[in-house]
Copies of this chain bind each other. A is one copy, B any other.
Amino acid sequence: MNEKTIPDIVIGRLPRYLQALEHMLQQGCTVTSSKELGEKIGISAAQIRKDLSQYGEFGKQGKGYSVPFLVHKLQQILKVDRIWDMALIGAGNLGKAIAYYQGFIDHGFRVALIFDSDPQKVGQVINEIPVLHTSMMIETIQTHQIKIAMLTVPAQVAQSVTNQLIQAGVKAILNYAPITLTVPDDVHVQYIDPIIHLQRMTYYLD
């Protein structure tokens, strides 16, 4: 069953299923169908069934899916059935907003370390976490065995910071800097850039 690897495009949809299912759970909904879920997130029912069937048979014919069960399974598949410590690099406006975001901890992600190169920022405490100088970054990340980093530094230094993160053993980077990062094959990068998203929409406007 798990013979061949599941395409990344499928993986990309799983978090969206999980998000919608967690909302349902909060609202006390215990059973759903691929049809209902699909309508909520704008994906065809067949697509959802096929995606989920890659990992096993989670539903009951005639009935649908148990929401708590499916949430649990998806959390296992996505490996968010645990707490992930993360490092945040860059304590500017955006970095601070991220450090204060409650959503991370609610979903098993914890900002454990914050770094900045500005001596004025070092020593500040953001949401109970002291800002450390980037000169301590590699060593501290290594000792904490942190695998995930969020990057909110200027584009000019993003690649060099990335190189250091890789050296420190980081395997996943959420990059807010407006630049494509070059990384080894075993390091994953996701990009968050509002400009890119906006430009993708203005294309369709008059």
User: Known: A172-B205, A188-B201. Contact between A194 and B14, CB under 8 A?
Assistant: no
- How many of chain A's residues touch chain B, expressed as a range? 35 or more
Q: Which of A58-66, A99-107, A112-120, A129-137 binds B? A: A99-107
Instruction: Bits for A68-100, please: 1 = Cβ < 8 Å to B, else 0.
Output: 000000000111100010100000011011101
Give the chain B neighbours of A97 by CB distance below 8 A.
93-94, 96-97
B-chain residues with CB within 8 Å of residue A180 when the two chains form the complex = 16, 19-20, 40-42
Copies of this protein chain in the complex? 2
Which chain B residues border A174 with CB–CB below 8 Å?
A: 194, 197-198, 201
B109 & A101 in contact (Cβ 8 Å cutoff): no
Q: Which residue of B lies closest to A43 (CB)?
A: B180
Cβ-based interface call for A202 (8 A):
yes
> Please, which residues of chain B bring their CB within 8 A of the CB of A205?
79, 147-148, 171-172, 188
Verify B178–A103 contact, CB threshold 8 A: yes
Cα distance A204–B199 in the bound complex, in angstroms: 29
A12 touches B (CB below 8 Å): yes
Q: Known: A97-B93, A180-B20, A205-B79. Is A12-B190 also a contact (CB below 8 A)?
A: no
Whether the Cβ atoms of B198 and A103 lie closer than 8 Å is: no
- What are 14 pairs between A and B in contact, CB < 8 Å? A11-B200, A14-B203, A19-B179, A19-B193, A80-B202, A84-B202, A86-B198, A94-B101, A96-B97, A104-B194, A147-B205, A172-B198, A188-B204, A192-B194
10 closest cross-chain pairs (CB), A and B: A172-B201, A190-B197, A15-B199, A93-B97, A97-B97, A15-B196, A188-B201, A41-B180, A79-B202, A94-B97
Further pairs besides A11-B200, A16-B180, A42-B182: 8, Cβ < 8 Å: A11-B203, A19-B180, A77-B203, A84-B198, A98-B194, A174-B201, A190-B197, A190-B201
